Structures are given as C-alpha cells and as structure tokens.
Structure 1
Amino acid sequence: MAGLKTLSHRYDRTVAKEQLLDADARTERTDLDGPLNYLLVGSDRRPGDSGPDQRSDTILIVHVPAGQREAYLVSIPRDLLVAIPPANGFGGGQDKINAAYEHGGGGQAGAQLLSTTLHRLTGIRFDGAALIDFSGFRKVIDLLGGVEMCVDTEVRSIHTNRVFATGCQQMDGAQALDYVRQRYDLPGGDYDRQHHQQQLLRAMLDSAGRADLRSNPVKLDQVLRAVGGSLTVDTNGVPLEDLLLALRALPPDGMRGVQVPSSPQTIDEVSYVVLDNGGNGLFEALRGTRVPAWAQANPRWVTRL
C-alpha cells in the first residue's frame, strides 16, 4: 500500500487535471463511500486539439457498487438521440450524444457539456471523470506486451483492410485499437463495437497484471508515464492515490459490460439510437444501489468481461 502511494505521488504530475464535470453534473461529496459513478470519454484527439473532428467516439459510465468488489461498464451509444443544452455558442437542440463534446468545443468545455447532457438524460451526478486519448493508449498496450482479444465475428477493417479472424489472439496496440473501432459488417453494429471497447479495457488490466510491473521498475516507469500522458482527469476533490487504492480491490472477474436498452431508428433519413422505455430502469438503478439486481433481471443487456 505504501508503495502504491509513493508511485501515485511520483506520477501524479504526469496526469493532466481539469474540471471535466459541469457543476450540475457533479456530486457534492468528496469521499468514496457508497456506490460511485464515473464518466469516461474516449477520443482519438487530445483535449485542446483544434480541428473539425472533435466527437467523442467512446462514452462510458463506470458504476462501482458499495464495497468496491465489482464494476459495471455502461456504454452509451454514440448515436443516441438526446437534447443537448446550449453552450459555447451552440444554441442547443436534438442531436447524437457524441456531438455534445464537439458542440462544447472539445477538451474541458466539451466534456462539461457532455456531462450536463448525460445528467439531464439520466439524472446521474458523477463522482469523477476522465478523458482518454485512445490513440495514446496504443503505446501503453505495446509496453504491456499486447493484449489478448477474443474475436467473436470475422470482420475486415474499414481503416486498414486487415481481416480479424474469429478466435482469441494476441494483438499489439495498433491492431487492438483498429479492432475496437469496427462496427460495420458486425451483427450488432455499434453494440458490438461498444462490447469490444469494454473488452479492451478489461484486457489491458489483465495484461498489466501479467506483466509483473513491480519487478521491472524501468517498464513500470514507462507504462505509468504513457498512461499519464493519455489521461486528463477530474477526481472531484478525491486524492488520486485514494482513488487508486480503492479501485485496486476490484477482482479480475468482477467486471461486467452493460449496454443501454435501446434500438436503432431512422428519423428524417438519419440513423439514430433511441432508448427503449426510457432505458428500462437502468438509469434509476445507476442513481442508487440496485445495479446488481438490475443486471440479474436484464441479462440480455449484460455480459461478463
């Protein structure tokens, strides 16, 4: 435990810190008691980058029930039709949720608008948030020696023309990130892409555990610096080392992937995703203590990672 505190102090300065959550979307508490909800936003562009492509390709709510013995990775569909409030010159209106980050201007302001949009949709107030540069994670994966990904459906990459054959296989950073971007020609479309992104996060944790980084201080230094360079965090006032100490108790088999109950729909010749029955009680469960019970009652939308 003392070693982890020393490491987190040492690398605390490598992680950028910003106010990623809007005030209305932020919990008032600054402790780790009770169920926790964290917002993870993934993009291929670093916060502050300028350019036309500022949409968030990955939006996850990480729910940790009280006791911190399991975690639920809830993927928000990128094409989910939502009401985005006005901000940063944007007048507000209906759009896909992954446009909220863009309408906010990307970076800190984009994350804040996304958090407000999600709060108004779900009623959830978040205990913290992180912006993840997934292109930067390529280096992390390579330093860990790659990740094992299990391909459930053969798919050809629309970006590299690489064919991913079915079966479990070792992938380097470029291959893994290419694979989890695919959604076309998959039976579940974007739902499959969401599941593969959840799998990647679990696979990275598995690789980190197998790498025995504590016995290789040089490699540990490289990995921690690469991770730090790929993250911008908002811990909501909780010291980073306290958060790491709490989350390290999660067992390897304690992660579940959750898809939001929803379905695709074409509106005015544009493809969207719309909620099924307001999310079928998922958001209410996330606001309280009933996520494990909800997952048991809704196995269609839950997978073990």
Structure 2
Amino acid sequence: MAESAKRRAPLWARLSGVLGAVLMVTSGGVLVTGSSLITRYTGSIDADGSLIGGPASGAARNTPADIRGPLDILLAGIDPRDDRTAPRSDSIIVAHLPAGMDQVYLFSVPRDLYVDIPAFAPTGFGGGRSKINAAMSYGSPVGDGRHDVKQGFQLLARTVTQLTGIEAFDAGAIINFGGFKDIVEAVGGVTMRIDMRVRSEHLRPDGTPRHRRASCAGKSCAHPYIGPQKTYQPGTYHLRAWEALDYVRQRYGLPNSDYDRQRHQQQFIKAMAAKVMSKGVISNPARLTKVLGSAGDALTFDGNGHSVLDWGLALKGLNTDNMVSIKLSGGGLYEGGRYLGEKLAPGSEEFFAAVRQDKIQEFLLAHPEFVNKNA
C-alpha cells in the first residue's frame, strides 16, 4: 500500500469528506449533463476514517480544486420501482451554492408543475406539456418494455434547465426513497421540528401499512386506505427512520398540499446534515461506515471524475447552519374547469434570474417572503 494511503487523513479532511457525502445523499450528488451516465457510488470509508473508492464508472480523477462555485445541484427522489415501471420524480430539489461555497440555498420544484418538456431523441419523445414529474418517465424507455432511471434523469435535468434557465447543473443525483430509510437508520434516526399536524395516508400508528378497501384494487381509488393513521403533532421530536420517511412524504390533508411537503423535505435535509455532522456520528467510524454503505443502496450519481472525498474537500467551508430554505409559491392551473397541474406564482422568474446570476442573497433581502421561516 502506498505511504499516502497509510497516513491518517487530517480531521478537517475526514469531516469534510463526510459532509460532502451527506450533501450528495440529502441535497444532490455529482455532475449529470448531456449524454453522461449516472453510476452507482461504490466508495466506502475505512476504519481510520479516511475515504477510499469513488465513481464506479472509473472516470479520470480530477482534484477538489476543479469544483468551484457557484454550483447548482439537482436531486430527484423516486419510489423504488422495477425496470418494467416508468419512474416518476416525486421530489425535485435544487441546491445552489454561491461562489464562496460556504452556504446552501434549497428550493423545490413542485412535482405537479405544468411545464414544457423538451423533445428527447433517445426515446423518440417529441416534447409536450405535462406535469414535470413525468419527465423521467418520458426519458426512461430503453426498449423491450424496460425503463432506465439514469436515462430518464437526463430529460428531467433538461426540463428543469428549460424551466429555470440554469444553463447546466454541476451536480445531480437520484435518491431511492426505499433505500434512503436505511441511511436514517444508520445514523440512529433524526431530530427535527414538526411545524403542523400531519396524518399519514399510508401507515398506522405502529408503522405497519393501513388496510385497503376491498373495492380499491390496483389504483382505482385516489384514497384507498382505511383505519387508524399515524399522526405527527407540532413540536420537536426524535423520529425513527420509518417515521421520518413517512412524515416527509405526506401531502394529503395539508393546508397547502405539496407546497407544505416541499418545506418538510427541506427541513429534513437540514436536520439530516446536522445529525451526520454531530459528534455521535462523525466520531464513530463504525457508524460512518454504515452510513456510506447505506448510501450506496439509495444513491445513484455520476462522479464526473470526482470522488466523494473530492467533493467533501471542496465543500470544507460549508456550515450546515447556513442552509436557507426557499419557498416557491404557486397554485392550480385549469383549462375549461379541468385541473392540469400547478403554476408558479409571480416573482419566480426573478428568483431564477437571481440563481443564474448568483445573487440570491440580494434577491432575498428585497423579497423576504421567499424564505421559509419555519425551515
């Protein structure tokens, strides 16, 4: 083994590497643009805390110095599905890091936002208007009735680019919500503030699935579940993995539906980043190993030649307290009384311009209503 591999990495490098990995897991990953493919992360963390491994694609390594702000990171959260089922991005989050790379601004794109989805030659999709969460499904067919989420993500990225005007994303990742539960379990749960009463559509108070109405076979009913519901009350709680995942997925019955869910997901990202950077996790090599091992099952990304450690070192100045949650308001879009999806409220275009110009702080000073004060 080379001498450099034997040396113990300095504490700041190890902690930065861990934070970089957490940011990939919770708010993005690494580059996905053009025809590049997303690959599964196969890196791990050894017993002395130094990071090893990197992109499974074997791409040429670049250095952390190549990762420069401002940066825009795209994250898509999907439910676990087999390759015979078209994927849909039920959660779409963009993280913007300014030139100094010492802060993160998070904003969610509503899953039902009615947008122009561009043409996509690999699948023969000619383009059209639809809800943005369908972009992955239009971009995913690979023949023989099969679907590739990695290919579908490319069309999602192009759609978000067209919506926001962000020329290209410097980072991107797909999070499998089913596997993500393992990450929360690996850190021992997460403590977060619940800002409203939320009733679970899917689970009973003990975490087991609610019963379905016998008359609701398949997807024939919008709300097929019956019986007691898990309920989350306002306050600060330590949530077990299944509770955290269940809480951030709820939108039915909330005053602002998916807009409230977006806020809760952003709150969760901040809480998870704080938890992983806490002494109970970063000082426990066994737990760190488990966290990154779980990430391998939940996270898919393209390293673009950068390892997790590269990203961690590049983001060493980032403070998890400096995560600002952005609120993009909107409302229903109708045609002849028929609901098409959501539309963003006035002012969104100006916000996207501020992102492109790396002037979000100035924009928020003039428009404080865009800040999620409860996140």
- Distance between the aligned counterparts of 1:6 and 1:301, measured in 2? 32
Structure 1 or 2, whichever has the larger Rg, is: 2
Equivalent pairs, count: 293
Which residue of the partner structure matches residue 61 of structure 1? 94
Q: Would the aligned equivalents of 1:80 and 1:96 in 2 still touch at CA under 8 Å? A: yes
Give per-residue Cα distances to partners, 1:34-82, cap 9 Å, x unaligned. 3110111111226xx3243511111111000111121001100111111
Match of 1:168 among 236, 240, 243: 236
- Distance between the aligned counterparts of 2:31 and 2:322, measured in 1? 29
Which residue of the partner structure matches residue 188 of structure 2? 145
Which residue of the partner structure matches residue 160 of structure 2? 118
Does the C-alpha gap of structure 1 residues 301 and 165 become closer, same or farther in structure 2, counting only changes over 3 Å?
same
- Distance between the aligned counterparts of 2:244 and 2:108, measured in 1? 18
Which residue of the partner structure matches residue 220 of structure 2? none
- For residues 175-190 of structure 1, what are the structure 2 equivalents within 5 Å? 175-190=243-258
- Distance between the aligned counterparts of 1:183 and 1:110, measured in 2? 25
Q: Would the aligned equivalents of 2:31 and 2:171 in 1 still touch at CA under 8 Å? A: no
3-state SS of 2:136 partner: helix
Give per-residue Cα distances to partners, 1:156-200, cap 9 Å, x unaligned. 111112111111111111111111111121122111100000111
Which residue of the partner structure matches residue 258 of structure 1? 326
3-state SS of 1:274 partner: strand
3-state SS of 1:129 partner: strand
Does the C-alpha gap of structure 1 residues 284 and 238 become closer, same or farther in structure 2, counting only changes over 3 Å?
farther
Q: Would the aligned equivalents of 1:22 and 1:113 in 2 still touch at CA under 8 Å? A: no
- Distance between the aligned counterparts of 1:133 and 1:253, measured in 2? 26
Does structure 1 residue 109 correspond to structure 2 residue 151?
Answer: yes
- Distance between the aligned counterparts of 2:183 and 2:116, measured in 1? 36
Which residue of the partner structure matches residue 79 of structure 2? 44
TM-score (norm 2): 0.71
Give per-residue Cα distances to partners, 1:101-158, cap 9 Å, x unaligned. 1111141111000011111222211111111112212111112111112222112111
- Distance between the aligned counterparts of 1:95 and 1:122, measured in 2? 16
Give 5+ residue unaligned stretches, structure 1: 25-29
Q: Would the aligned equivalents of 2:30 and 2:170 in 1 still touch at CA under 8 Å? A: no
Which residue of the partner structure matches residue 264 of structure 2? 196
Instruction: Point out the more displaced range, 231-240 or 108-117.
Output: 231-240
Identity, % of aligned positions: 39
What amino acid sits opposite 1:22 in the alignment?
G
Which residue of the partner structure matches residue 132 of structure 1? 175
Does structure 1 residue 21 correspond to structure 2 residue 56?
Answer: no
Give per-residue Cα distances to partners, 1:242-261, cap 9 Å, x unaligned. 21112242213200111224
Match of 1:86 among 119, 122, 126: 119
- Distance between the aligned counterparts of 2:246 and 2:104, measured in 1? 25
Does structure 1 residue 216 correspond to structure 2 residue 281?
Answer: no
The structural deviation recorded for 1:240 is: 3.2
Does structure 1 residue 100 correspond to structure 2 residue 168?
Answer: no
3-state SS of 2:372 partner: strand
- Distance between the aligned counterparts of 1:126 and 1:192, measured in 2? 26
Does the C-alpha gap of structure 1 residues 261 and 293 become closer, same or farther in structure 2, counting only changes over 3 Å?
farther
Q: Would the aligned equivalents of 2:117 and 2:127 in 1 still touch at CA under 8 Å? A: yes
